[in-house]
Amino acid sequence: MDVVIAGTGMHPWGKWGRSFVEYGVAAARAALRDAGLDWTEVQYVVGADTIRNGYPGFIAGATFAQALGWTGARIASCYAACASGAQAIDIARTRILAGLCDVALVVGADSTPKGFFTPVGGDRPDDPDWLRFRLLGATNPAYFALYARRRMALYGDTPEDFAAVKVKNAQAGSLNENARYRKTVTAEEVLASPMVADPLRLMDICATSDGGAALVLASEGYARRRGLSTAVRIAAVSTVTPSFPNTVLELPCFATDSTAAVPPPERTFRASIAHAAYEEAGLGPQDLSFAEVYDLSTALELDWAEDVGLAPPGEAGKLLRAGDTALGGRIPVNPSGGLASFGEAIPAQAIAQVCELTRQLRGTAGSRQVVNARAALAANQGLFGHGSAIIAVT
C-alpha cells in the first residue's frame, strides 16, 4: 500500500504580521479544497511546531485542530527545527501505513520576527544555541558563510557562481504566486548587495518569512474509494540523524565530533539524508526529474546538489554554469524558486517543498512546469541533527 498526496495548500510567504494560526488555517483549507475533502472527515492532524509564537506554537497540532473546529480527530505535534515539516509528514504517513487511519492533514506555519534569527530569550548559558551568540556572535549566516568559503577554497567556486544561483532561483520564483520575492534579479545586483558574512551577501542569504503549507495524505485505497487524486505517491521519507563522528561543523555547534577514536563515516550527514531516501524508494539520483533543496544560502544549494547526488563533489558549479539546474535544464534544482524566493518559514518549509513536488508531478505547475516530471526529491536539514528528505513519484 502507498500513501498518496491527495491535496496541497499554501498561504503565500511574506511578512504579513499576522498570527501563524491564520496562515496554517488558510493552508489547511486550501489543501482540503484541493483534495475535495471536508475538514470533518480528517481522522488525524499533525502540526509542525514553531518555537517563536508562544505556547500555541509548541502544540501546533492542537492549535490548528481547534482553529479548524474541534472534531475529535487524533493529533500529534512535533518539532525538528527546519525538518519539523518532514517529521510531521513522516508521522502522518507512518500512521496511515500502519492502518491506524486512512486520511491525515499535515500543517506547518510560522510568523517570524525581522532580521537574524536569535535564540529563544532569557539567560541560558547551558543552551549551545544561546551560547554561540553570546560567546561568538555566530549567527546562522555565519555558518552558511563557513561552508561557502570552504567551497571556494576546495573547488574554486566564486561569488559570481553564488550570484548565478540567486539569479536562477529568482527567475523561477518570479513565476510562483506563493513566493515572497517575485522580482527577477541580475548577478550585478546580487554582487552589489551588502556583505553580511563574507563571502555571502544579503542576496545570497535566505530571509525569514511568514508562511503556511499543508498536505492531505491518504491511503491509496481510501483515496480510490473517495475519488481523491492518486497521481502522486510518497516513495520515501528520510528522517535520519548523523553518524558519529559528524565531521562537518553544524549550526549551532562550537565544534565537530572528534575523529580521534572513530574514523569519519562513509557519507557526510547531508549526503546520508538523501542516500536513505533513495534506498527506501529504490531509486537513485539518475531517476529524478528535479529536486527541491534547502538553499539557506546560494552556496549551500551547490553543496546540496552534490549531497543529493546530482553532481560529484565539487562539480555542482559546473552543472549550474551549464544551465542544467535551471528551469528547462536537464535537472532543475528548486523550480519553486527555493528559499531564495520564499525566505524561510521554518515549520512550513519542508511541507512547502512537498507542495511543489506534488504540483510538478501532477503537471499543474503552470509556467514553472518541469516537462514530464516523474520523480522528485526534497531535501532539508534541521539543526541539532535532523535529516529530512522526501521522494515523491507519479
Partner 1 sequence: MAAPAIDGWFVTDDDGAVHLLGTRCAGCRTVYFPPQTGFCRNPHCAGEDLTPARLSRRGTVWSYTNACYPPPAPFAAAEPYTPVTLAAVELAEEGIVVLGQVKDLTVDDLHVGMELELTSGALADGPLVWMWGRA
Does 116 contact partner 1 by CB under 8 A? yes
Q: Which residues pair with 103 in a beta bridge?
A: 218
Q: How many CB atoms lie within 10 A of CB 43?
A: 18
Does 150 sit near partner 1 (CB under 8 A)? yes
Distance between CA atoms of 275 and 115, rounded to whole angstroms? 34
Binding region for partner 1 (CB under 8 A) out of 227-235, 245-253, 278-286, 324-332: 245-253
Please tell me the distance from the alpha carbon of residue 59 to that of residue 266, in angstroms, as a whole number.
37
Which residue carries 561543523 as its cell?
Answer: 249
User: Which cell goes with 154?
Assistant: 576546495
CB of 313 to partner 1, least distance (A): 16
Q: Which of residues 17, 99, 125, 227 is near partner 1 by CB under 8 A?
A: 125
99 is a site residue for partner 1 (CB under 8 A): no
Residue 197 within binding range of partner 1, rule CB under 8 A: yes
Residue (139 or 239) nearer to partner 1, CB: 139
276 binds partner 1 (CB under 8 A): no
**Which residue, 144 or 290, has its beta carbon nearer to partner 1?**
144
Burial (CB count within 10 angstroms: exposed 0-12, middle 13-18, buried 19+), residue 366: exposed
Three cell numbers written together for 178? 506563493
DSSP class of residue 265 equals: P
- DSSP designation for 275: H
Find the part of the chain contacting partner 1 (CB under 8 A) among 74-82, 148-156, 354-362, 382-390: 148-156
Q: Could you say which of 196, 308, 316, 348 contacts partner 1 (CB under 8 A)?
A: 196
User: Which one of the spans 82-90, 241-249, 293-301, 348-356 is the region binding partner 1 (CB under 8 A)?
Assistant: 241-249
Cis, peptide link before residue 347, omega less than 30° from 0:
no
For residue 171, the one-letter residue type is Q
Q: At what angle do helices 159-173 and 298-307 cross, to 10 degrees?
A: 90
First to last CA, the chain: 15
Q: Which listed residue (146, 187, 191, 240) binds partner 1 by CB under 8 A?
A: 146
Q: H or E segment at 44?
A: strand 44-48
Closest separation in Å from C-beta 269 to partner 1: 14
Q: Which of 198, 282, 284, 321 binds partner 1 (CB under 8 A)?
A: 198
Question: How far apart are the C-alpha atoms of 336 and 347, rounded to whole Å?
Answer: 17
DSSP state of 386: E
Contact between 135 and partner 1 (CB under 8 A)? yes
Of 72, 227, 255, 266, which lies in the binding site for partner 1, with binding defined by CB under 8 A?
255
69 touches partner 1 (CB under 8 A): no
Q: How far is the CB of 101 from partner 1 (least distance, A)?
A: 34
| Chain residues that interact with partner 1, rule: CB under 8 A | 115-116, 118-119, 123, 125, 128, 130-139, 142, 145-150, 153-154, 194-200, 244-245, 247, 249, 253-262
